[in-house]
Structure 1
Amino acid sequence: MRNCAVGRKQMNQRRRFFSACMGVTALLAVCACFPEIPALVTESAGGSGGTAVPDATPDVSDARPDSSDSGGADGGDGEVGVDTGGSDSGGADVGGTDTGPDVAPDAVPDVVPDVSPDGAAGSGPACPDDMVHAEDLALSVSFCVDRTEVTQAKYVEFLMAVNEDVAQTDQPPECAFNESLTYTPDGSCPSFSSSNNYPVFCVDWCDAYAYCAFRGKRLCGALTGGTLALDGPLTTDEWHFACTGGFETTYPYGDNAIVGACHIPKENTPTDSSDDNQKAPVGSYPDCEGGFPGIFDMQGNAAEWTDRCDPGDGTGTEMCMTRGGHTYGSADYWKCSNLIGKVARNDPSIRQNGIRCCGDTL
């Protein structure tokens, strides 16, 4: 420039020129030579065709993007907004450079993940806390099975809830003979306790069925649902699938029998079944875990009624299968594949007959 002190006519020309420009950087550069230009431009902003020059040092707080730009919900002053609508931001709007007041811990909304008790967050089908997920994706098998045998305490809850009235329970036509849930202890079958953790036993098939239905579950039957034929194949058996970890093992805990792993009081006593009401608290033998992690006592302790039966006519004399629960015998008795526990549907007198339920995933 030849001279920064120019005449008023020249200044008016420059003012009109720079008022028409939108480039903030160009104006700031020229202002170094023409310090009077900002005042002139500002003065003319309210007039015809005038444009105000933005502040060269904008407020930092204005630099934060509006929450609506990222899709996050507005959490209010001092709160964190959580995006629950699948926005482009993909999650919580935490305000990055926010220099506002600290957020109190109780101001942050709780976000409950979809957690399966037997898997990671959002991992797929889940089971209630008292059950384990038994699954084989290759076989398209997925169901829940009780972690332990049903306890006396849980069974007493059931009896009290239905007032020991069979009419208040869900039973199939095969149980037409079953007119009462009243339990009468004798020398072989003990009184039930509402506070103990021992397995319930001395119940017939229909009582076991009614209990599982009351809990929103079912007796373990066919992998495809419903009743399994008494002599049906093991490859379609829910109880067997659970005991073997998906047809992978011979015993619940592996392929080799382990003496003392499960509650079998008379191991290696071939035929003696006397005093087989000697039970242990459920889950009290940690080595008797499996086939799937978290399932206990699939062998030893109480036997477990299953929905593996001959066709019935309502008299209850047809045979159904109980599984596990042997209190005597050699290692062959303890195998998951053992199918010698055939008992009449209406017979509660076998002292070791208890309950374990299966169910659908959540």
Structure 2
Amino acid sequence: MKPVRAHPAHSPSLLHPRFALLALLLGGAGFMGCLELSTAEPAGAGGSAGAGGASNAGGGGGMSSSTAGPGGAGGTGGAGGTGGGGPSCPTGLAGPALVLIPTATGAFCIDSTEVTVEHYDTWLGSSPKLPGLADPECGWKSSGTHLPRTNEGTCGPEHFDPKNKPDHPVVCVDWCDARQYCKSVGKRLCGAVDGGGPIGFDEPKTASVDELTYACSGGGSRVYPYGNGADEKACVGDRYDGVDDGPEDNALPVKSAAGCQGGFPGLYDMSGNVWEWQNSCSGSGGLNAKDHYCGARGGSFWDEMSDMSCQSMWKGFTRDLDGKNIGFRCCADALP
């Protein structure tokens, strides 16, 4: 990754050394009710068996025939179907569609792509509130703006262009912008497995503790979203197009790299394109909250394969930093 200076308050020395289901529906299908045939007496025909319940709904008991033949026994009612159920993702929320990620202890949901320029622009149109001054992590932004930066560091007007680039990942936003967007649309920044809480900044980002790693790696079964072997042509990294583009390189529209799907079906760009902010910072508040470092995950269009594995994390971005290679996606709690 090339060095990114996205906020004037920080030295390039903090940045990178280079210019630096299965959306698995767990709702179990119900079983058809057993169909028990009545045994008719010789003197008359037995009644018809009742129908079992449909899948994913509790079936009603079958009805016996009301017209049994003389001396014949009425048919026995069919057994009711087994009801369905299981975790699912919330519907109707703004932003990318959610993908259900089952875990050993439950499930969580994650945006299928990075949040796009169009998604973010729509949110800005709702006049979202800024964090309050008392917010321990983002109070420093109480008099700022959620608009992507377009005139500092690596960020220019071309990096937030809703008219011409609606399907590009939104970039040039800081950690607090990302957190506020996710919260406002009923989601949250991705964090710890089992609830999405903050992960220790220096804690290894293994699949057992980290939602992004778990989703990217198919539950810990692979190194990259597409498999265990590095493939420069699979996801949007520095050599995706076969050349080192240098400082002029930029993100591509989400889902541009068809081979960058996984670790679960319907999940895209978990490696490369842009780094993604995460709920993992070196401090939780205080007067210098904006200067705390926050993790960004997965690598970007500027990065080599060593920075694009499912566990890759860059630790040199402060909470108030923004750059044309930094975006985000959201997670959400699954519905029971």
Q: What TM-score bracket applies, with the shorter chain setting the length?
A: 0.5 to 0.7
What amino acid does structure 2 have at the position aligned with 1:160?
A: G
1:166 and 2:135 equivalent?
A: no
* Residue 114 of structure 2 is aligned to residue 144 of structure 1: no
CA distance in 1, matches of 2:278, 2:66: 58
Q: What is the TM-score of this pair, normalised by structure 1?
A: 0.62
The Cα offsets for residues 153-200 of structure 1, whole Å up to 9 and x where unpaired, read as 00011111125x415x99952101113223442373323306711110
Q: Which amino acid aligns with 2:205?
A: L
- Say whether residues 1:134 and 2:101 are aligned partners: yes
Residues 270 and 329, structure 1, Cα contact 8 Å, conserved in 2: no
Counterparts of 1:278-293 in structure 2 under 5 Å?
278-293=250-265
In the alignment, structure 1 residue 320 sits paired with structure 2 residue 294: yes
AA paired with 2:272?
Answer: G
1:352 to 2:316 alignment = no
Q: 1:275 to 1:266 in 2, by over 3 A?
A: farther
2: CA distance, partners of 1:87 / 1:268: 55
CA distance in 2, matches of 1:246, 1:204: 28
Residue 233 of structure 1: how far off its partner (Å): 2.4
Structure number with the higher helix fraction is 1
Q: Shift in Å at residue 337 of structure 1?
A: 1.7
* SS class of match (2:140): coil
What is the aligned length? 263
Distance 1:266 1:125, change over 3 A: same
**Runs (5+) with no aligned partner, structure 2:** 1-45, 68-82, 92-96
| Superposed CA offset, 1:92-115 (max 9, x none) | x8x999xxxxxxxxxxxxxxxxxx
Match of 1:193 among 153, 162, 182: 162
Structure number with greater Rg is 1
Change (3 A) 1:197 1:212: same
The 8 Å contact of residues 132 and 145 in structure 1, kept in 2 or not, is answered as yes
Are residues 1:175 and 2:138 paired? yes
**Superposition map of 1:41-52 within 5 A:** none
Can you give the 5+ residue segments of structure 1 that lack an aligned partner in the other structure? 1-62, 73-81, 98-120
Q: 1:230 to 1:268 in 2, by over 3 A?
A: farther
- Indicate conservation of the 8 Å contact 2:191/2:210, yes or no: yes
User: Residues 171 and 342 from structure 1, CA distance in 2 versus in 1: closer, same or farther, beyond 3 angstroms?
Assistant: farther
**Amino acid of the structure 1 residue aligned with 2:125:** M
Give structure 1 regions of 4+ aligned residues with deviation exceeding 6 angstroms.
268-272
1:358 and 1:173, CA in 2 relative to 1: closer, same or farther beyond 3 A?
same
Cα-to-partner distance string for 1:63-98 (whole Å, 9 max, x where unaligned): 999xxxx799xxxxxxxxx9x9956526xx8x999x
- Cα distance between partner residues in 2 of 1:261 and 1:270: 15
SS of corresponding position for 1:153: helix
Structure 1 residues 128 and 280, CA gap change in structure 2 (3 angstroms)? farther
Distance of 1:260 and 1:96 partners within structure 2? 68
Counterpart of 2:173 in structure 1 is: 203
TM-score normalised per structure 2: 0.67
Q: Tell me: CA distance 1:233–1:271, structure 2 relative to 1, closer, same or farther (3 Å).
A: farther
Who is 1:246 aligned against? 219
1:217 aligns with 2:179: no
1:262 counterpart (228, 232, 235):
235
Query: Which range moved further: 121-130 or 212-221?
Result: 121-130
Does residue 125 of the first structure (1) align with residue 99 of the second (2)?
no
Q: Following the alignment from structure 1 to structure 2, what is the Cα–Cα distance between the partners of residues 201 and 177?
A: 20
Q: Give the aligned residue type for 1:202.
A: C
Aligned to 1:20: none
Distance in 2 between residues matched to 1:175 and 1:269, nearest whole Å: 40
SS at match of 2:310: coil
Identity %: 35
Question: Once superposed, what is the RMSD of the aligned Cα atoms?
Answer: 4.0
The 8 Å contact of residues 115 and 329 in structure 2, kept in 1 or not, is answered as yes
Q: Does structure 2 retain, via aligned residues, the 8 Å contact 1:306–1:323?
A: yes
